[in-house]
Amino acid sequence: MLKRGSKARSTLFTLLMLLPGLAGFFGLFFYPMMVTVVRSFRPEGELVGWTGEHYVKFLSEPRARDVIVLTFVLSISATLCSILFSVVLCLVLRRKPRGHRFFRLTMLIPRVVPGLIGALGLLLLLGSRGWVNLFLIQFIPLVEEPIRFNYTIPGLILFYTWLYFPFTAVTTLSTLESLDPAIEEAADVAGANRWQVLRHVVIPLIMPGILAGSVLTFMAAFGAFSIPLIAGGNYRPLSVEIYKQINFTPARWSAASARAMIMAALQVAFLTFYMRILRRPSA
């Protein structure tokens, strides 16, 4: 009897401890999300009535397809670039070259400073008067005019990669370091050359880590807002498109909410698809 009472009390205590977290979740995430869902079905500027016109209107615009495709092109190419770059970087850092501690911290800098500042610096660096263009003009033959990087799609992909590769790099590095060196030695003894060891032993073994990290990069790139806002120019992915709707006077909250729901749904759908691919090799 006594034991049962204390057990009930301990369950109550656990629930009480969980309460702030759950309250935060429901109050600051779930409820606002529901407000957005409801708002997206309201006629513009009204708080009663139901309509699906915002979805229909946005999706039937020819521009909608461009916006969605642009969002996916940017986030997927940034993810692929970060995977490529991170794998090379981590393989190099793993050998512990001189100053590897410093480079490990350097890797985190894009995540520690505000994204806006990173984008500003890149805009300056890659601009027509930036050091990159000065270097190209002075030292590379055939380049006479400054090359345009800013406000182009390849430039944006570079910006995204710069800002979001640390997610992939950190997880790849930690997977690579938990790898048992004996496995590689075994492959080496078995007569595989360096490239074969890398291609057939190391890369397959760290693949789960790379993919887990790339999910984070993808999510961040898909939801990226500050970078396309200042560095996107005429290219507006979904997030900027949403922000533009509430910047109209009067603000178009319902239209913005409908776009936000489409964006969230696309992200969840793609992540589910991605996770399925992720699981396949092990199953």
Partner 1 sequence: MTLLRQYLRAILSARKLLITTFLLCFGLMIYLPFLMIAFRSVGKGWFGRLWLPPELTLEWYRWAIEVTNIVDITKNTLIIAVLAVTMATLVGIPSGWAFGRRKIPGKELLMSMILLPRMIPPIAYALGVAQVFYRLHLINTHFGVALAHVAVCAPYAILVLSATFEGLDERVLEAASVCGANPVRTFFHVILPLILPGILSSMIFTFTTSYNEFTLTLMTYGKDTTTLPVRTYLAIGEGYWEVTSAMSIILVIPSIIVLFMIQRQVAPEKLVGGFKGV
Per CB under 8 A, which of residues 133..192 are in contact with partner 1? 134, 137, 162, 166-167, 170-171, 173-174
Task: Spell out, one character per residue from 221 to 260, where the chain touches partner 1: x when CB under 8 A holds, - when not.
Answer: -xx-xx--xx-------xx--xx--x------x--xx--x
Q: What's the closest the beta carbon of residue 12 comes to partner 1, in angstroms? A: 11
Residues 6+ apart with CB under 8 A from 168: 79, 82, 83, 86, 210, 213, 214, 216, 217
Cα–Cα distances (Å) from 270 to 120, 222, 226, 263, in that order, read 30, 10, 22, 11
State both tokens at 140. 């590379």
Per CB under 8 A, which of residues 33..52 are in contact with partner 1? 33-36, 39
Q: What's the closest the beta carbon of residue 215 comes to partner 1, in angstroms? A: 8
Answer yes or no whether residue 70 interacts with partner 1 by CB under 8 A. Answer: no
49: left (phi over 0), alpha (psi -120 to 50) or beta: left
171 within 8 A of 210, measured Cβ to Cβ: yes
Q: Which of 8, 12, 108, 153 binds partner 1 (CB under 8 A)?
A: 108
Answer yes or no whether residue 263 interacts with partner 1 by CB under 8 A. Answer: yes
Q: Between 64 and 246, whose beta carbon lies closer to partner 1?
A: 246
Q: Between 26 and 182, whose beta carbon lies closer to partner 1?
A: 26
Distance CA 37, CA 241 (A): 17
Per CB under 8 A, which of residues 7..36 are in contact with partner 1? 14, 16-25, 28-29, 31-36
Q: Between 88 and 183, whose beta carbon lies closer to partner 1?
A: 88
Q: Between 36 and 51, whose beta carbon lies closer to partner 1?
A: 36
Helix axes 253-279, 62-94, angle to 10 degrees: 40
Write the DSSP symbol of residue 144. -
Q: What's the closest the beta carbon of residue 127 comes to partner 1, in angstroms? A: 9
Closest CA to 168 of 200, 203, 207, 201: 207
